[in-house]
Amino acid sequence: MHSNKITRRELAALAGVAVAGAEATAARSGTLTAREAIERIQKNVGVPWRKQTVDTFKAGDPDTPVLGIATSFMATLDVLQRAAAAGKNLIVSHEPTFYNHLDETKDLADDPIYKFKMEFIKQHKLVIWRFHDHWHARQPDAIMTGLAQLLGWDKHQAGSDQRYYVLPATTLGELARTIQERLKVRTLRAIGDPQSRVSRVSLSPGAAGLMAAVRTLPQADVYVCGEATEWEGIEYARDTIAAGQKKGMILVGHVVTEDPGMNLCAQWLKTFIPEVPIEWIPTGEPFWRPA
C-alpha cells in the first residue's frame, strides 16, 4: 500500500524546489527584505511600538530577501520544515522559538536539538521574527477575535469586553463537547458538574494565571482558558465549586486557543504586503490521549 507520509528526503527536495521557484518570483518582482517587511508591520499595527518588547528577530539575517511569509503560533521545527517546503522563508511566530519567553539560548548552546534547529534555519535561509506583544495590544485583540470566531461566539460577546460571552443556555458537559468539536481538540479537560447549567462564559486564550481566574470566574458560569498551572487558577476553581457555587472551568490548550489568531494575522499581512505569498501554517495540538 502506498503511504502518503512525506519522508525527510522528499521534504528536503520539496523545500529546494519551492525555494528555487520563490527566488525566481522574487527576482521578477523586486526584493523585499525581512527587515522591510517587519517595518511595514510596525507601521500598520496601529499601536505605539514599545521600547521593551519580545517582538524582535530571533534567528536568521534580517536583510534576507523575503520569498514568502508564514505565520504560526510557534516556530516549531515542524512548522519551519513545512514553511521551507512551501517556499516561505520569513516566519512570523507568536510565541518563542527557543522554549523560553525571552528566547535566551546560552544554556542551549551544546544541546543537539537546538543545534539541529539552528542548522535547519541556516541551511534554508530562514528568518524568524516574533509578533506577540503588539498583536495582543491591538484593539480588538486579534488572538481573542480569532478564537471567538472559530468557536462561533463572536456574535455573543457581552458588550465591549472580549473576555465575556453570553451563550444560549446549555450544560457544562455539552459546552465542553461543543468546544472540543469546533476546535478539534484531542485532550480538552473540564472541572465541575457536567450537568450544571451555563450561559455566561469568560474566555482567556493562552496561559492563564491565578488572577485571571480570580477576576473573571465570579462574573461567569464557566471559565474557558488555554492552560493554567494546576496549583493556581485550577485550584481556585475547585475551591469555588467546593464552596457551593455552580461553576465550571474548561482547559482547551495554549496552542489551540491562540493559533486561530495567527490565521487572522496572515490575512491582515496580505493587506499591505502584496509582493510575496503569505499563509498561515497551524502549529497544531501537541498532545494525544490513549484510546
In a domain, 3, yes or no: no
Q: Which residue do the cell numbers 524546489 mark?
A: 17
Do 157 and 134 sit in the same domain of this protein? no
- 32 and 174 both lie in a single domain: no
Q: Rounded to an integer, what is the distance from CA 38 to the centroid of its chain?
A: 18
pTM: 0.88
250 and 222 in contact (C-beta within 8 Å)? yes
**Host domain of residue 101:** 8-138+259-280
Looking at the structure, tell me whether residues 130 and 200 fall in a common domain: no
pLDDT for 140 equals 96
The one-letter amino acid code at 119 reads: E
- If one counts the domains in the chain, the total is 2
The amino acid present at 36, given as its one-letter code, is E
pLDDT of the residue at 23: 44
Q: Does residue 290 form part of some domain?
A: no
Q: Looking at the structure, tell me whether residues 20 and 132 fall in a common domain.
A: yes
239 and 218: one domain? yes
Q: pLDDT tens across 67-125, in order?
A: 999 999 999 999 999 999 999 999 999 999 999 999 999 999 999 999 999 999 999 99
CATH number at residue 68: 3.40.1390.30
- Residue stretches of the chain with pLDDT short of 70: 1-30
Distance CA 155, CA 36 (A): 37
Residue 289 maps to a domain:
no
Taking the CA atoms of residue 77, residue 82, residue 86 and residue 88 in that order, the dihedral angle to the nearest 10 degrees is -30
CB 73 within 8 A of CB 285: no
Residue 199 forms part of a structural domain: yes
What confidence score (pLDDT) does residue 14 get? 52
| One domain, residues 146 and 132 | no
In this structure, the answer to whether residues 70 and 123 fall within a common structural domain is yes
Same domain, 130 and 159: no
| 288 located within any domain | no
Q: What pLDDT is recorded for position 291?
A: 86
Residue 210 resides in a domain:
yes
Q: Are residues 14 and 122 in the same domain?
A: yes
Q: At what angle do helices 142-151 and 172-183 cross, to 10 degrees?
A: 110
Distance CA 145, CA 23 (A): 34
Is residue 158 within 8 A of residue 200, CB to CB? The reply is yes
Q: Is 264 part of a structural domain of the chain? A: yes
